[in-house]
Amino acid sequence: MVSEAVAEVARPRTTDLREERVWRVLRSVMDPEIPVVSVVDLGIVRYVRCAEGQLRVGITPTYSGCPATEVIQRSIHNALARHGMKDVIVETVLSPPWSSDWLSEEGRRKLEAFGICPPVARGAKVTCPRCGSHDAECLSEFGSTPCKAHYRCSDCLEPFDVFKCI
Amino acid sequence: MTSAASAPEARSPSAESRFQYVLRLADTSLVLGQRLGEWVGHAPALEEDLALANIALDLIGQARLLLGYAGEIEGRGRDEDALAFLRDAPEFRNASLAEQPNGDFGQTIVRQCLIDAWQLELYEALSGSSDARLAEVAAKTVKETRYHLRFSTGWLVRLGDGTAESHARAQQALDALWRFTDELITPDALDEEMAAAGIGPSLTALRPRWEQRIAAVLEEATLKRPAASRYPWQGKRGVHTEHLGHMLGEMQHLARTFPGATW
């Protein structure tokens, strides 16, 4: 699912100690709506860069109007400040637009364990996170947050969320 | 996609032209987003309530990005909030269709489908804009608009090809709103200036693609395409129907009553 180009950005391969420390802190910053996946799992951290002593973190919004974006930006600031990194610039990157393909493998596993079916390619079957059935119907492509669709399992009849493909 | 990108180097449009053009894009999304927001808590079912709110959020998010950019082009220190909340109706540049009242659910869906199909064509073309900022906002918008169009198309087919009552209401809404569509697909001088500079798409080239999409949906929905009508409204040039002023009265009330309020 994770394309190579993305894996390269999402996975820190730096020897710079400050950048490495930032990545470590970012792995502890959770999405406010889905508190089991970190911003790194979500694939919204585009880079951590240190140029001329200035650290910069680039994050990309999942959806243009996602209200969590600003909360996430603040959480990143606060988390870094708690670790003594007060002067990091957190900036928004729009291009290339975020894709659900950028979710890490670990992020997909965490979603499933949390009761949210990870994104599946269009036309492929979703899996009910409660009973494992592949027999489910889409109630709405717009769920409780912009990034999720609403399904109902036809076997156990429980409703569940599916992380949308975008 | 090629229409916007392939235009040769032309005289670069003035900042005022670019400002006005970006406002057209931003205001159509903002006004439509505000209209959809009026449904929250009132939609026919919870799923539709959530869907309309989600689409409204996308549209307002797009509008924020575009208004912020418009403010930078203008260079007079107006940010997204100043542009959204402190302009009067004649300064808005949205397409008149976006400001039309919600009516019943059928009318909201007809309005949405007509605009979604247009925005999809528009933003696909804008992804290849010579203006890098517009191109990146457009690339993000296209992904979201595909979801919007699937929703509005699905509902329009269900309503049109549904009961006698839902069919009649959908047709009535289509007949009432069709006169506002001409503005979307007929270029004026500013649209042409932007197309020549490779910033915006040629609306003349976009028109048949939009018409084709709509024709296919209407056929599946068993609805009749109304006769062409050249209605004089030109929201994109600031000439609005009376509905916009009322809508802004509500939308801007808080920001104007308590200037600079935050929470």
Q: What's the pLDDT score for residue A1?
A: 40
Contacts of B137 in chain A (CB under 8 A): 94
Least CB–CB distance from B147: residue in A65, A67, A141: A141
Q: CA A10 to CA A22: how far, in whole Å?
A: 13
Task: Please check whether residue B131 touches A, CB under 8 A.
Answer: no
Give yes or no for a contact between B97 and B111, defined as CB atoms under 8 angstroms apart: yes
In a domain, B200, yes or no: yes
Is the pLDDT confidence value at B6 over 50?
A: no
Q: What's the pLDDT score for residue B48?
A: 94
Report CB contact under 8 Å: A142, B150.
no
Specify the CATH number for the domain of residue B83.
1.20.1260.10
In a domain, B119, yes or no: yes
Q: Which of B147, B148, B152 to mutate to test the interface with A (most CBs of A within 10 A)?
A: B147
Report CB contact under 8 Å: A94, B150.
no
Task: With cut-offs at 50, 70 and 90, classify the pLDDT of residue A25.
Answer: very high
Q: How many domains does chain B have?
A: 1
pLDDT tens profile B195-224:
999 999 999 999 999 999 999 999 999 999
| Residue span of the structural domain in which B140 resides | 14-257
In a domain, B262, yes or no: no
Report CB contact under 8 Å: A140, B144.
no
Q: Is the peptide bond before A96 cis (omega within 30 degrees of 0)?
A: yes
Strands (DSSP E) contained in chain A are: 45-51, 54-59, 89-92, 116-117, 136-140, 148-153, 159-163
In a domain, B263, yes or no: no
Find which of A56-65, A157-166, B110-119 is predicted with most confidence, using mean pLDDT: B110-119
Q: What's the pLDDT score for residue A6?
A: 47
Task: With cut-offs at 50, 70 and 90, classify the pLDDT of residue A13.
Answer: low
In a domain, B25, yes or no: yes
pLDDT tens profile B155-191:
999 999 999 999 999 999 999 999 999 999 999 999 9
CA-wise closest residue to A139 among A158, A123, A124: A158
A84 DSSP assignment:
T
- Residue A136, classified by CB atoms within 10 Å of its CB into exposed (0-12), middle (13-18) or buried (19+), is buried
Is the pLDDT confidence value at B24 over 90?
A: yes
Domains defined along chain A, listed by start: 4-102 (3.30.300.130), 115-163 (no CATH)
Task: Please check whether residue A92 touches B, CB under 8 A.
Answer: no
pLDDT more than 90, % of chain B: 91
In a domain, B9, yes or no: no
ipTM of the complex: 0.82
Pick A12 or A50 by higher pLDDT: A50
Q: Which amino acid is at B83?
A: L
pLDDT tens profile A27-70:
999 999 899 999 999 999 999 998 888 999 999 999 888 888 88
Contacts of B48 in chain A (CB under 8 A): 140
Q: What is the mean pLDDT of chain A?
A: 88
Report CB contact under 8 Å: A64, B136.
no
Task: Please check whether residue B58 touches A, CB under 8 A.
Answer: yes
pLDDT tens profile A112-135:
999 999 998 877 899 999 999 999
Q: What's the pLDDT score for residue A52?
A: 85
Task: Please check whether residue A159 touches B, CB under 8 A.
Answer: no
Q: Token pair for residue A102?
A: 């950028």
